[in-house]
Structure 1
Amino acid sequence: MRMRFNTVLCVAGVLLLNLAGSFCQLDVCGRAPFNKKILGGSDATEGSWPWHVGITSTGQPFSVCGGSLINKDWVLSSAFCINIMDTSVDQIVIYLGRRSQIDPDPHQINRTVINVIKHPDYNPNTNDNDIALFQLSSSVNFTDYIRPVCLAAAGSVFDKGLSSWVTGWGYTNNGTLPNILQEVEIPIVSNKNCSIAYNGSGVTITDNMLCAGQLNDVFKGTCLFDFGGPLVSKQGSQWIQNGIMIMTYACYTKNIPGVFTRVSQYQDWINAHISNEKPGFVTVPYSTPTPDPNPTHDPNPDPNPTPYIPDIFSGSSPSLQLFPLSLTFFIFSLIFCLFI
C-alpha cells in the first residue's frame, strides 16, 4: 500500500510540474518591450514586432513572404508562400529579428527549415485553410528583438472596429518595395461587410477567414509580398495574432478590406503538429472600439451584435502562481519516492 501511495505522489508531482510548464509560453509570447504603439505609422521601430520574420530562399536576401515566430522552433505563415517560392524545404531561409533588408542588423539571425506542414485542406483556388507551419533547423534564443507572438484561441471573437496591426516588406502605396519593415494600423471588418465588399469578384469569405482594412478614401492595408504576415491586436499587456495575410485583392483599392486566415480556427491543428512547448493561445473577447467622432450610417447593421465582454487577461500569469506550488509538490513527492 505504501509503495502504491509513493507512486501516486511521484506521478502527481510530475503532472503538476508539467502543468506549470505548459503555461510558461504565455509568460513569453506577445511581449514587445520596444513597442509603445498608440497611433498608426509607416517604418517600424527596431524591436517593435519581435515575432515578425522574413521568409525567402537561399541566395535571395529579400523576403518573399512574412511569418510569425510562435515558439523557439516553429514559424506560422501561409501555405501560399510555399507554392510561390517553388523551392525545396532545405533551401528556405527564415530571418528573425530583422528590421532592414539591406543594412546590417546586429539583432538579426537566420535559420534554415527542416520541415514544412501545409494544412491538408488548403485550397489554392479559394484560399481557404491557407496556413502552414515551418520548423526551424535549430532553436532560437529569445531576446528583446526575437520573441514569439501569442495566438488567438478557439472561440475568440473579433468585433468589427477592433484595432489591429499588420507588418511586412510588401509593396507600399508608391509602388516600391521597402527596405525597412512597414507597419499599419487597421480595424477589423465584419465577415458580412467583407462579403458585401467582394460581391461579384468571385471571392468567397468563409468562416476560416477574417477581414481587416481601412474603408475610406485612404488605402491602408497589405499588398504583394506581405503574404503570410501576422495581423495582431493587443489584449492587456500581450499582442495576439488573429490572422495570417492571404489575399492582396485590396492592394491600392479603396473600400476593399484585406483577407486573412482566422488563426483561432486552427488551434487544434497547430497543437497536433507541435509536440513540445505549445504556442501560447489566448482567447480574444469582444473589445469596444473607440467611438467614431463622425459616425456614418451602416446600411447593413448587425441584428445580433456581440455583447460586451470585459478584458479579463490583464492580471498575472497563471504559471507564476502554479509554479511554486507544483515545484514544492514535486520535491515532496521525490523525497517520498527516494527515502520512504
Structure 2
Amino acid sequence: MYRTQNLFSTFSVLSSSLLSSVCGRAPFNTKIYGGGDATEGSWPWHVGITSTGEPVSVCGGSLINKDWVLSSAFCINIMDTSVDQIVIYLGRSSQFNPDPHQINRTVINVINHPDFNPNTGDNNIALFQLSSSVDFTDYIRPVCLAAAGSVFDEGLSSWATGWGYNNDAESSNILQEVEIPIVSNQNCSIAYNGSGVTITDNMLCAGWLNDVYIGPSFFDEGGPLVSKQGSGWIQTGIIIMTDAGRFPYVFNRVSQYQDWINSHISNEKPGFVTVPYSTPTPDPIPTPDPNPTLYCPDIFSGSSPIQLFPLSLTFFIFSLIFCLFI
C-alpha cells in the first residue's frame, strides 16, 4: 500500500432500506487525513481474498451485503484456482497474528463482468457469492456503493485500503490505509498519454500528477476506494492494475455498474447512494404573526368577495357584524 519505489500498481436515497442503517457505517473510524496502519474495525467492509491453505491475501474486496463481495474480475486470474478453493476473510486486521474478530467463508460463485477486457482493464469488476451469510458486527459491515449518476469532483478526499506490498516489497501484516484525492478523467488521460493505457468512462483516477508513490500496490487488486459522505462511507472505485508506471492510480468506477450489480443480486440489494450526498433542506416553518390584522370586507366599495354559498355567506355575516362593533 505505502511505497516509495516504482512497483507495478495495479446519499439520492439508499436503494435498499434493509441496508440503510448499516452500510458505510464504521464505528471505529475517526479518520480525517493521513495513512499507515489501520486500526481494528476502521474499514469493516474490507475483505481479503486468497485460496485454500494460503493465509496471505492476494486480492482485496468489499462486503456489499450479507452474501456478496465486490472485487475485480482480474482477481480470479491472479489466484489461478477453482472457485471452490477461494477463501474470503472478513473482519480481518492482521494477516499473521491471531485476530478475534476474523471469520472466513468459501465462495460458491464468481460472476465476472461479461465485457471485462484483461488487456485494457476495462470493466474490471466481479461479484463473489459467499458460501453462507455473515452476521454484521462492528468489525464486519457492508459498504455503501456509489449510485449511477454520481459525480466525483477533482480533489475529493478518498481512501484506499489493502494488505499489498509495503516499502520493503513484502505483503503487509496490518491492513494499510492511504488517503488520496480524486483526479479528473481528463487530467488522468493526459498523464497516461503515450503509455498504452486508455482511461475510459468506466474508470476513475485518484492520487497525484507527479512522482508520488503512495497508493495501491501488489495484491491490493480488487480493494475498495471510498469517500466519506455525511456520516457514512461510499465506495467509489475498485483498485485495478496498470503497469504503465504512471500517475495517478486507476480504479474501476463503481457508479457505472449499479444495474449490472443489482441484476445478479436477487435478495437484499446493496445500498446505493448518489455522490455527492446532500440532505434536502426542509422548508422553514412560518413564524406566527403576534399581531395579526383582521380582515373586514368593504361592502360599500364593492370589493367584498361575497360567495353565494351558505357556509361562506354565514362566515361573511359574522365577520361583518364583528367589524361593525370594533
Classify 1:106/1:138 alpha carbon distance in 2 versus 1 (closer, same or farther; 3 Å): same
Alignment deviations for residues 26-64 of structure 1 (CA, whole Å, 9 cap, x no partner): 211000000000111200000000000000000000000
Q: Give the corresponding residue for 1:42.
A: 36
Alignment deviations for residues 93-116 of structure 1 (CA, whole Å, 9 cap, x no partner): 000000100000000000000000
Classify 1:88/1:217 alpha carbon distance in 2 versus 1 (closer, same or farther; 3 Å): closer
Does the CA-based 8 Å contact 2:211-2:247 persist in structure 1? no
Separation of aligned partners in 2, 1:153 and 1:177: 32
Q: Which has the larger radius of gyration?
A: 2
RMSD after superposition: 1.8
Separation of aligned partners in 1, 2:78 and 2:63: 21
Q: Give the corresponding residue for 2:256.
A: 265
**2:148 maps to 1:154:** yes
Percentage identity across paired residues of the two chains: 81
Does the CA-based 8 Å contact 2:15-2:270 persist in structure 1? no
Q: Give the corresponding residue for 1:212.
A: 206
Does the CA-based 8 Å contact 2:181-2:206 persist in structure 1? yes
1:74-113 counterparts in 2 under 5 A? 74-113=68-107
* TM-score after normalising by structure 1: 0.76
Classify 1:71/1:197 alpha carbon distance in 2 versus 1 (closer, same or farther; 3 Å): same
Structure with more of its chain in helix, by fraction: 1
Does the CA-based 8 Å contact 2:91-2:140 persist in structure 1? yes
Separation of aligned partners in 1, 2:197 and 2:149: 25
Separation of aligned partners in 2, 1:112 and 1:155: 34
Alignment deviations for residues 138-188 of structure 1 (CA, whole Å, 9 cap, x no partner): 000000000000000000000110000000011123322210000000000
The gaps in structure 2 that reach 5 residues or longer are 1-13, 283-326
Separation of aligned partners in 2, 1:107 and 1:26: 23
- SS of 2:50's equivalent in the other structure is strand
Q: Give the corresponding residue for 1:142.
A: 136
Match of 1:256 among 225, 233, 247: 247
Letter in 2 for 1:271: N
Separation of aligned partners in 2, 1:159 and 1:272: 28
Q: Give the corresponding residue for 2:181.
A: 187
Letter in 2 for 1:180: I
Match of 1:114 among 108, 115, 119: 108
Q: Report the alpha carbon displacement of residue 248 of structure 1 after superposing the two structures with TM.
A: 4.0
1:311-330 counterparts in 2 under 5 A? 311-312=278-279
Q: Report the alpha carbon displacement of residue 314 of structure 1 after superposing the two structures with TM.
A: 10
Separation of aligned partners in 2, 1:205 and 1:37: 30
Q: Give the corresponding residue for 2:195.
A: 201
Match of 2:239 among 241, 245, 248: 245
Q: Give the corresponding residue for 1:7.
A: none
The gaps in structure 1 that reach 5 residues or longer are 1-19, 286-309, 316-340
Separation of aligned partners in 1, 2:219 and 2:243: 13
Classify 1:201/1:220 alpha carbon distance in 2 versus 1 (closer, same or farther; 3 Å): same
Q: Give the corresponding residue for 1:53.
A: 47
Letter in 1 for 2:192: Y
Letter in 1 for 2:278: D
Separation of aligned partners in 1, 2:82 and 2:201: 32
Classify 1:120/1:86 alpha carbon distance in 2 versus 1 (closer, same or farther; 3 Å): same
Letter in 2 for 1:261: N
Match of 1:283 among 274, 287, 294: 274
* TM-score after normalising by structure 2: 0.80
